[in-house]
Structure 1
C-alpha cells in the first residue's frame, strides 16, 4: 500500500495566527500517527510563517513513523536537516517568498548544485527525494545527482483532473505523469507525489501509477478534517491508497 505522510504545516499556520500553543503541533503530529498516518511531513520556510525551526527539532524525538522534511536547500535549511537527521529530505526549488511549492527542479541546469546537496545528505544516511515536474527529460538528471526518489509535483494534475470532469478529452497531461513515473522506475528511482492531492483525485492517481511509494498531503487533508474530523479523514485518505 502507498504510504500517507501528513503535512502539518497548516496546523502550525493556525497556531501562529493567535500565538500561544493552540493547537498543539506536537500533539497533532502524535495523533496523526495514532490515527494511521505513515509519516509526518514539515516544510520550514525562511520566514518561519508556519513550521518553525524549533518545531522541527521538537518533532524529531516524537515522530515514530517516517519524518520527512522538505524545503529549499539553503545553508540554514541544510544545517537544520543535518542536525535533525530525518528519515527523508525532500528538496524543492522554492524561492524564499513562495506561498507554496509550484514547480519542480530543472535537474539539467542545477545538476552540480543538486549533486553536492544530495551527496551531503546521503552521507548522513538521509534518503533524498527531489520535487520534479512530469517531464521525462529531467529524470536522468535526478538519477545522476544521486536522488533516491522523485516527488512528482501534482499541482497541474489536480487542476486538469478537475477540468476533465467536464472535458475528459483534455486530460492528456496525465500521460506525462505515467511516462515520467515509468522512466524513473526504470532508472531505479522510487516515486513519491504531492501537492493538491485530495479525496476526489487521489484514487485515480494511485490506480494509474502503481509504483507510487508515498504521498504527502497537507492542505486538503486539514480542510477535510474540519468537516470529517482528523481521525476519520486520515482513514478516508488511506482507503484510497490501498492496492
Structure 2
C-alpha cells in the first residue's frame, strides 16, 4: 500500500481519515522524501534542452557593476532619497482615501445633476406662466374703450397678487436660479467643479484619518494580545516553579 501511494503520490481521503496524527506525519515525510529523490534523479539526468533559434540574438542583458566589479545592488533605505516604509504606507493610504472620496464625489455629482435638471425645468415652467399672466394683464388694459376711460377715473394701481410668486425662493436662491438658467452657465460649472474638488479633499482627509485610526487600533490590539500572552506564560511558569518547590 505504501509503495503504491509513493508511486502515485496520492492518498485516498478515506484511508487518510483512518490514520492518526503520527501516521499522517510519517506518510507525509515518506512522500516528501520520494519527491526529493525524483527531483535529484531529474537533475542528474540530462533533460532535453528546449529548442532555440539558430540566429544570433542581438538582445543582451548587462548589469550595472559596483566599485569592486560585481553586480550593482541597491538596498532600499540606504540612499538618502529613499522613502521610508512609513512614508510609503502613508502615501498608499492617502491614495486609497483619494480614490474612495473621488468615487463618492462622482456619485454625489450624478444625483446633483438630476436635481439641477429638475429645478431648471420647474424654473422654466414658472417663467412661462408669469409671462402669460403679464400678457393677459396688458391685453386687458389695451382693449379698454375710450368711453369707459371718460366715464370713470382710473382707480389707483393695485398690486397684482400673482399666485405664482407666493412660493418664490429667497434672493440667494433666486439669484442662483437665474445664474444657472440664463446668464452664466460656464461660471456655474466652474463653481460646481470647485465645490466638487473641495468636497473630495475634505472626504479624502476624513477617510485617511479613519484608515490611520483603524491601523492604530489594530496595533494596540496586537500589543494587548502580546501582553496578555506574556502574562499568561509568566503565570504558567510561576505555577510550575511552585509545583516543583512543593
TM class, shorter-length: under 0.3
Larger radius of gyration: 2
Bigger RCO of structures 1 and 2 (CA < 8 A, at least 6 apart): 2
TM-score (norm. length: structure 1): 0.17
TM-score (norm. length: structure 2): 0.17
Return the structure number with greater helix share. 2
